[in-house]
Structure 1
Amino acid sequence: MDSWEATVEAQIRSAQERGEFDNLPGMGKPIPGRNLPYDESWWIKSFLEREALPTDLLLPTPLLLRRRVEQVPDEVRDLPTEEAVRAYVAVLNREILAWLRNPSGPRVVVRPVNADEVVRGWRERRQARAVPAARPDAGTPATVALQRRSRRWWRLPWRRPAA
């Protein structure tokens, strides 16, 4: 045991002499959380902060599923086809049914999502985005003629910018 400790000490000493411990991050700064009371889940909190992971991962399964059900309209908004929307809902419903077969965690009501309602809402939002907001003066013939005339005026040869 002493030979192993001596070997480790020798490696640390040689690394110090080479300067491998110089300019380490946090050097000269106080240890974070030193004056705070002990928190037994400090390591998972620091991991979530360091890796920039959402704290939703810590929720129990039924609450996580419930939150995902609430976020379905936002999640399917940018999907390109109805089949993709139905596939997303089918995957979510499979996860919900798997949890319902073997529930764990707090007793929270989680029901499968109705794919037809989600598709109906997806279509409505898609059609609302597809219809451009019509300007009140854009369609009158006088406005169209004025726009054409003003465009032609800038194309006249003496109005072209010098190159």
Structure 2
Amino acid sequence: MDPYESVVERQIREAQERGEFDNLPGAGKPLKGLGESDDPDWWVRQLVQREGLDMTGAMPPVMALRKEAAGFPESLLDLRTEESVRAVLEDFNHRVKLDRLRPAVGPFPPMLARTVDVDDLVAQWKVLRAEQAEAAQQAEAARSPVSPVVAAGESGSWWQRLLGMLRGR
């Protein structure tokens, strides 16, 4: 026993003598993530991955704009009208143009994000929306116990539609 042994070191030594560290999971195996690369920020990458963090806010603005553009037109599917899609895309182009006004820093030329073709993306959005609506309609038809005549838009109250179903229309 060392006369200068701290309280913590004494507790660890006594636990080892009692065998409390024997047969622990991972005993004798290397620690994960050590020695795999020379990346000084390995711990930050592991934290982001483990916690599922969105690092878009920590990106340089031009990289965030490029990432946003890469998601078009799929990221626009929640929008209901063509006008709202055009507004989002025109706002994006405006932000790209504002980003180009930033002064260059360092010896290298600045990175730039491209503006998007609003009309082309609106056309792509329309195609995707139509496909999405058709898929939703097919899924609803597969789940619905209503007859095809009623599903096709037969008018009348709910009980008239029910009677039509019972009659085998």
Q: TM-score, normalized by length of structure 2? A: 0.47
Q: TM-score, normalized by length of structure 1? A: 0.48
